[in-house]
Chain A
Amino acid sequence: MNRTLLSKEFLEQRRTYRLFILVAVLLVFGLISPVVAKYTPMLLRSIPGVPAGLAGIIPEATLSDAVGQYVKNTSQFGVILVIIFTMGVIAQEKERGTAAMLLTKPVRRSAMVLAKWSAGMGSLLVGLAAAAIGCALYTALLFQPLPLLGFLALNALMAVFLGVFLSVSLLASALARSQAAAAGIAFGSLVLLLILASIPRLGEVMPNQLLGWGVSLVLGGDASAWTALAVSFGIIILSVLVACLRLEREEI
């Protein structure tokens, strides 16, 4: 790993406020998820005019609701953020000419891809950590303490899930010569993954299964998705590898 490139990528994450925005957004969703889970039933019951019978069947919020809300919010907004922040990272350098400045130096093109991937994943992990801490604190306050290992495993699986979208977006950025084209490829890939996930048997091995597995680990269920984990790692490795090969062959 080229330390100079990695330092520059982390500095760029900070200077362009990507890291700040990612941490802030994920932290907010980490904090509000247990709050929303806790108070939504109470809000529904307190709405004027709700029939007494209906108010009676709205269940009390549980730990399961808090975890479910956290996974839903963090994964959905996390996917959008990693795509937006990653889709232009290589295409923009090619478009602006900064890649041409860099790639005349003694730097392997794959090092540029790996540095960008590492910095993106680093920022994502910091954001997820912030979200997890926020969620764990408020869940403990409003419900009960989360099981530490299970919650860590959930967040690790969520990092892999989001890592899939980050890697695919990075590949889109390497394939495209402009940011607009990279955005098209990245969001197209998102739609494709969602479609694949909805196909009955195929969907059982797609990355979204990791989220259910993670929830199960927190709540003590027996679900697992090892194949989906292998597929996710496969998509990540393949995306980064193809991005490296593409850039190695491309004329800048």
Chain B
Amino acid sequence: MIQIKGMVKCYGKVRALDGLSLQVEPGMVYGFLGPNGAGKTTTMRILSGLARPDEGQAWILGKEVGVNRMDQRPMIGVLPEEPAFYPWMTAREYLRDFIAPLYGLEPGAASRRAGEMLEEVGLSEAADRKCAGFSRGMRQRLGLAQALIHQPKVLLLDEPVSALDPAGRKEVLEVIGNLSGSTTILLSTHILADVERVCDMIGIISRGHMITEDRRDDLLARYALPLFEVEVDDDLGQWPEIASKLAFVKSITVSNHTARVLVKDVQSAQTGLLASVLEAGLHIRRFEIVHPSLEDIFLQLTEETPQPAQV
């Protein structure tokens, strides 16, 4: 549905994209993650037809994208990082009289879809206000509405919730989540919690190239450490010393009432470690296998990436 192969984009001596490749399958919500300056927005601009790559190609719906290629435009919706609107237009006019007709919607359908989208993104009350007075969050909501008005098959969302408050983020992510399965979405963000919430597939980009790409759950599992956390009510006493001699334990670190136990064999540790704690007479408050967050993986991967290439 969306495919990028060996894309290179240079700005002066800096390679903003350095051989980037990715593929997004139909109906998937693809989280495109990366720190600031990683190349996310450049990728989005190329896919949107606003910029052209120096090398490599990209396809959307099987058609090559380009600055002057119109083939796939009617079927994609784009939300730029900082959506901008004509200050003298109202939100309803923008959607009904400007954007919808550009996609060929007849006046009746345009009016109906504009109303629906304003409702969906929570802008009904501000629909007839001029865009000049809109906050950044409101502009982001209207930006999402204009991207969705023609029911596109592919959505390119560049930081779609970065300007929203927590409640607004939840609402907009629900809108995006509801499109999963029917619309292919490439969502660029650096807010990891949002990606964990809505994305099926995750690609982490740093310094212009893909570091890793996998299904969300597989990615989390791939980077899972065999680590247990044991928290007790009282002092851990001699238990860390005892536990460190167990065959399946690799190392233990202690912090106040909590011990983090890195093990060699998770299955043995699941029973053996718990038994050991109980034998020591400790009152367990928490005993769990630590799952790495996307943030842990992200930081681990992006910090390992070498310095940017220069041409």
Say if A and B assemble together: yes
CB neighbours (8 Å) of B73 from chain A are 104-107
Does A8 belong to the interface (CB within 8 Å)? yes
Question: Given A97-B80, A248-B68, does the pair A104, B49 have CB atoms closer than 8 Å?
Answer: yes
CB neighbours (8 Å) of B99 from chain A are 105
**Majority SS at the chain B contact face:** loop
Residue of A nearest to B146 (CB): A101
Does B82 belong to the interface (CB within 8 Å)? yes
Cβ-defined contact, A106 with B85, below 8 A = no
CB neighbours (8 Å) of B80 from chain A are 97, 100-101, 104
CA distance A3 to B107 in the complex (A): 13
Cβ-defined contact, B51 with A251, below 8 A = yes
CB distance from A91 to the nearest CB of B (A): 14
CB distance from A25 to the nearest CB of B (A): 21
Cβ-defined contact, A105 with B50, below 8 A = no
CB neighbours (8 Å) of B48 from chain A are 100, 104
CB neighbours (8 Å) of A97 from chain B are 80, 82-84
**Majority SS at the chain A contact face:** helix
Selected contact of A98 from candidates B51, B68, B76, B84, CB within 8 Å: B84
Does A108 belong to the interface (CB within 8 Å)? yes
Question: Given A104-B50, A248-B67, does the pair A98, B86 have CB atoms closer than 8 Å?
Answer: yes
Interface size class of A (residues with CB under 8 A): 20 to 34
Q: Which of B93-143 contact A (CB under 8 A)?
A: 97-99, 101-103, 143
Does B52 belong to the interface (CB within 8 Å)? yes
Q: Can you list 10 residue pairs at the A/B interface with Cβ under 8 Å?
A: A4-B98, A8-B86, A100-B80, A104-B78, A105-B102, A106-B70, A107-B102, A108-B70, A109-B67, A251-B67
Q: Which residues of A come within 8 Å of B, CB atoms?
A: 2-4, 7-8, 11-12, 15-16, 96-98, 100-109, 248-249, 251-252
Known: A15-B88, A252-B45. 18 other contacts (CB 8 A): A4-B102, A8-B97, A11-B89, A15-B89, A16-B88, A98-B84, A100-B50, A101-B85, A104-B49, A104-B50, A104-B73, A104-B78, A104-B80, A105-B73, A106-B73, A106-B102, A106-B103, A251-B50
